[in-house]
Amino acid sequence: MNEHLGRGLSALIPNAEIEHSVNAGIGTIPIAKIKCNRFQPRRKFDPERLQELASSILENGIIQPLIVTKSEGSDYELIAGERRLEAAKLAGLTSVPVVIRSVTKKEQLQLAIIENIQREDLSPVEEALAYQALVEDFGLTHAQIATVMAKDRVTITNSLRLLKLPPEVIELISAEALSAGHARAVLMVEPDYQLSFAQYLIKYKLTVRQAEEKAKSYVHNLQNKSESAPSNPLTRSIEQKLSSLFQLKVKVTEAKGKGKITLEYKSPQELEQLKKILEQLR
């Protein structure tokens, strides 16, 4: 099986098979008997492109058969061709041409992923989720997935890293507000600032290269800006009281409801004095 996977679906359906009769696994079956692929990695279909395919099917028919496997009872489960199936329904067809194959669950997922990736129909998030399924459900390593998909291992690892982003950022990628390249730049930023950085990239329409450069200084610049911003009455009051109590310079910085209090001493003697004051407060 694996020797064929990187070569595409045509390698999985040799011409010799297609020349055989229905008994050899080729035929036409009612759409109503085909269940959706439970391992289908694609979550969304582009309505416009689906309608274009439906129009093409009405005019030319389905040129490439769907691939299905026998399921319980008299039904079949789709392995590959979900977009063609949905377009066939849209076109009003009641039956479709199929190739019937016997496959394992792993092979079923792999075939679905391969078809979608090779046709460039998966979004970056859908592709990452598909790889995650291969890792979690079937125990494949990144290197094994790379071999199966005929891709570089680093490409697989980078794809999976997208799922470590905050849910809000993942949603921006799914909505195509951020590209996969921009998302990798967001990963360069500390987790607490990733959503903020993603929104910054969208607001200022940075290129991927600009985003990568900005990621190196974004958090530092944001923190400096926060520290140089005028303090509010509450923080000023706390600074004054603590400064009076400890006889030291005190700085309160705040950002997004969180902050820190800094006590500055200029000599060992001042540090010793601070220690004595803290001991008295116990």
CATH number at residue 15: 3.90.1530.30
48 and 139 fall within a common domain:
yes
Q: What is the DSSP string of 235-265?
A: HHHHHHHHHHHHTSEEEEEEETTEEEEEEE-
Residues 144 and 71 in one domain: yes
CA distance 8 to 131: 17
- Does residue 89 belong to any structural domain of this protein? yes
Residue 29 and residue 99 share a domain: yes
Q: Please state, in angstroms and rounded to a whole number, the distance separating the CA atoms of residues 76 and 85.
A: 13
CA dist 75 and 29 (Å) reads: 10
**CA-CA-CA-CA dihedral for 263, 268, 273, 274, to nearest 10:** 30
> What would the mean pLDDT of 207-231 be, rounded to a whole number?
78
250 and 209 part of one domain: no
Residue 135: the pLDDT is 86
Listed in sequence order, the DSSP H helices in 162-252 are 167-174, 180-186, 194-204, 208-215, 218-228, 233-246
Tell me, what CATH number does 177's domain have?
1.10.10.2830
Where a domain ends, among 182, 206, 223?
A: 223
Task: Quickly tell me which residue has 């600074």 as its tokens.
Answer: 239
Which of 68-77, 211-220, 251-260 is most confident?
211-220
* Residue 227 predicted with pLDDT over 80: no
* Per-position b or e across 62-80, b if 16+ CB within 10 A of its CB: beebbbbbeeeeeebbbbb
Residue 137 sits in the same domain as residue 24: yes
What confidence tier does 162 reach under pLDDT thresholds 50, 70, 90?
very high
Span 7-64, pLDDT tens digits: 333 333 333 333 333 333 678 889 998 888 766 666 667 788 888 888 888 888 887 8
List, by residue number, the catalytic residues.
82
| Residue at 82 is within a domain | yes
Mean pLDDT over each residue of the chain, to the nearest integer:
79
Q: What is the mean pLDDT of residues 231-241?
A: 80
Is the domain of 45 the same as that of 147? Answer: yes
The answer to whether residue 160 sits within a structural domain is no
Cα dist from 191 to 4, 18, 169, 217, whole Å: 40, 52, 11, 14
Total domains, the chain: 3
Alpha-carbon distance of 93 to 96, in angstroms, equals 7
Structural domain of 70 = 2-123+131-155
